A = this chain, B = another copy of it.
Amino acid sequence: MSSAVESAPRSPGRPRSIRADEAIIEAVLDLLAEGSTIESLSIEAIAARAGVGKATIYRRWSGKQALLVDALRTLKGQPPTPKGASVREDLVLLMRGVGRDTDPRANKIMPCLVPEVHRSPEQYAVYQEIVQPRRELTREVLRRGVRTGELRPDIDVELVALMLTGPVLMQKILNWSPDVDDRNLPERVVDTLLAGLTPR
């Protein structure tokens, strides 16, 4: 963004280091959105784009991996907070957040990132660090549902988390099927999985 972050005069409410951090995060997201792969992204390129020295980056982050985790968390924003009323409502709220990112660069970055995560253990670790906090919210709602009796006691929480998120993500990010009605998809996935397919 600014090409002279380090030499800019300090403004009262916002210390120079915070502005530099933001410029560095923005530089990572801009480079990824422009088509850089995680693999080819270099600290040199990030520093040049942010208008800071490499030392400024290394003062704040241990390396590319830690910086990527912060940048992608910034991109995805805060996950929604379950309200705790009904399991159904909370699952719908969480699934509405799947594949929905407020930053417009996410549409460029996320579909390319998802397959990239498999190319190395480091990239897979970055991906897991980003999705785990969101996945934990889903797990907590499911465990609560088992406790309250809203859900069967024998459900496999990890499997159910996959069965909720997988269809929504596949359809939203990859447009898996042109024949699926996308309206209220999170609600319909949650309700179908809660009720099951066999007659009651």
Q: A145, A151, A160, A195 — which one has the most chain B CB atoms within 10 A of its CB?
A: A195
CA distance A135 to B161 in the complex (A): 23
CA distance A133 to B196 in the complex (A): 25
**Contact call A115/B118, Cβ cutoff below 8 A:** no
Q: Which residues of B contact A197 (CB under 8 A)?
A: 145, 151-152, 155, 160, 193-194, 196
Copy number in the complex reads: 2
**Contact call B193/A177, Cβ cutoff below 8 A:** no
A70 CB, nearest partner CB in chain B, Å = 21
Q: Is A175 an interface residue (CB 8 A)?
A: yes
**Contact call A115/B111, Cβ cutoff below 8 A:** yes
CA distance A114 to B113 in the complex (A): 12
**Given A166-B171, A174-B115, also A150-B198 (CB < 8 A):** yes
Task: Give me the 10 closest cross-chain CB pairs, A-B, nearest first.
Answer: A196-B196, A166-B167, A166-B166, A166-B170, A111-B115, A158-B179, A163-B167, A162-B167, A158-B180, A195-B196
